[in-house]
Amino acid sequence: MEPVRVGLIGCGKVGSIHAAALRALPEADFVAACDASPDRAAAFASRYGARPFADVGTLLRDGGVEAVVIGTPHPLHAEPATRAAAAGVHVLVEKPMAATLADCDAMLAAARKAGVLLGVVSQRRWYEPVVRMKAAIDAGKIGRPALGVFQMYSWRDPAYYTSDPWRGRWDTEGGGVLVNQSPHQLDILLWLMGPAAEVGGYWANLNHPAVEVDDTAVATIRFRNGGLGAVVTSVSQRPGIFTKVHVHGTNGASVGVETDRGATFIAGVSAIAEPPLTDLWTVPGEERLLAEFQAADRAAFTERDATVHYHALQIRDFLRAIRENRPPLVTGDDGRAVVELFTAIYQSNRERRSIALPL
């Protein structure tokens, strides 16, 4: 296929991962890098062989881009996304899609009006253990998915929150563990279990007194298919333990993934240190496959830079979707569903009641 001319908006930590992925993909022609800091844009663009821009409007007018990847802080996703869509440019935005549902809806409306694609980064969907789970569920191997569980026991130290001025504040980050560290697994949970119908939850700040936002949250979910869900997510366990998503079916079988061991990686700061693994597999007649799956997962991990590899797989899907005139695997509606879910948990905590969805 003809490469898609791509620009990157936001030359910070996560931007370096996207830039490395774009440079590695034959489907991409990485032509432009934009940042509010002209010096950072210039240095970043020089590093990756792109053209620097310090203004989104100038990028869209003069950059010759067909698509943009947005890696700005969460509350700053909507403005460049809507401007890009209005200019007829396809948009892939980092997770979470936005900090508010109003921003999500503005982005979706702009994309629909312009007829461009809008996708949201959720590269853990491409983890081999997650792909296995999805295939098994779609094949009916666990019956109907009846119970979905997401557990994260991770860690963020004080230096993490001071590494960027926008971290740890409601007005500049939009939330804490629910908004920043949890969207990947919330997306996987919704992808495997289906849409949520009702949510109840609480959040707390257990051991990060210097920040405003949640470092821990718990929730219960009733899904539209009648299934139930549970969420325990936290960055208060030093030095980090694990992050898992498990799905249990009506025939008694279970499938699961450990997406992260220890503390989840920090984009642009640390790398994925251990392989994502299939950690639960009780499909009738396939129980012995668990060891084989884990051996394959570990072997694959040694052959690639996992931090960049899975981002590249998602970007490739998005760029191919542009050329093939089809939706990407992770759509703007998928991204909105995650924002809706954590918004409902915050609302449930505030109002001390369960929240019906959709909001």
Q: What is the tens place of the pLDDT at every residue in 114-166?
A: 999 999 999 999 999 999 999 999 999 999 999 999 999 999 999 999 999 99
Tell me, yes or no, whether 273 and 346 share the same domain: yes
Question: Which helix H or strand E contains 244, and what residues bound it?
Answer: strand 242-249
Tell me, yes or no, whether 201 and 347 share the same domain: yes
Looking up residue 48, the CATH number of its domain turns out to be 3.40.50.720
Tell me, yes or no, whether 151 and 176 share the same domain: yes
Residue 330 lies in a domain: no
Residue 329 lies in a domain: no
| Average pLDDT of every residue of the chain | 97
Structure confidence by residue, pLDDT tens digits, 209-264: 999 999 999 999 999 999 999 999 999 999 999 999 999 999 999 999 999 999 99
Tell me, yes or no, whether 151 and 112 share the same domain: no
Determine the angle formed by the axes of helices 332-351 and 183-193, rounding to 10 degrees.
110
Tell me, yes or no, whether 204 and 224 share the same domain: yes
Domain termination site, one of 90, 120, 150 = 120
Residue 310 lies in a domain: no
Sign of CA dihedral 30, 34, 37, 38: positive
Tell me, yes or no, whether 152 and 270 share the same domain: yes
Query: What is the pLDDT at residue 129?
Result: 98
Structure confidence by residue, pLDDT tens digits, 303-342: 999 999 999 999 999 999 999 999 999 999 999 999 999 9
Cα end-to-end distance, the chain, whole Å: 40
Residue 105 lies in a domain: yes
At 218, list the tokens. Answer: 């718990």
Query: What is the pLDDT at residue 270?
Result: 87
Query: What is the pLDDT at residue 338?
Result: 98
Query: What is the pLDDT at residue 115?
Result: 98
Tell me, yes or no, whether 83 and 130 share the same domain: no
Q: What is the DSSP string of 271-285?
A: ---S--EEEEE--TT
Looking up residue 282, the CATH number of its domain turns out to be 3.30.360.10
The count of structural domains within the chain is 2
Tell me, yes or no, whether 269 and 290 share the same domain: yes
Domain termination site, one of 120, 150, 167 = 120
Tell me, yes or no, whether 221 and 293 share the same domain: yes
Domain encompassing residue 165? 125-304+338-351
Q: Is the pLDDT of residue 169 over 80?
A: yes
Of 47, 120, 125, the C-alpha closest to 77 is 120
Query: What is the pLDDT at residue 336?
Result: 98
Query: What is the pLDDT at residue 258?
Result: 98
Residue 95 lies in a domain: yes
Tell me, yes or no, whether 201 and 345 share the same domain: yes
Residue 359 lies in a domain: no
Q: Is the pLDDT of residue 60 over 90?
A: yes
At 84, list the tokens. Answer: 């890009």
Residue 59 lies in a domain: yes
Q: What is the pTM of this model?
A: 0.97
Structure confidence by residue, pLDDT tens digits, 260-305: 999 998 887 888 989 999 999 999 999 999 999 999 999 999 999 9
Residue 311 lies in a domain: no
Tell me, yes or no, whether 39 and 131 share the same domain: no
Distance CA 301, CA 246 (A): 21
Strand pairing class (216-223; 254-261): unpaired
Tell me, yes or no, whether 107 and 131 share the same domain: no
Query: What is the pLDDT at residue 266?
Result: 87
Domain termination site, one of 120, 155, 180 = 120
Q: Is the pLDDT of residue 36 over 90?
A: yes
Distance CA 239, CA 215 (A): 14
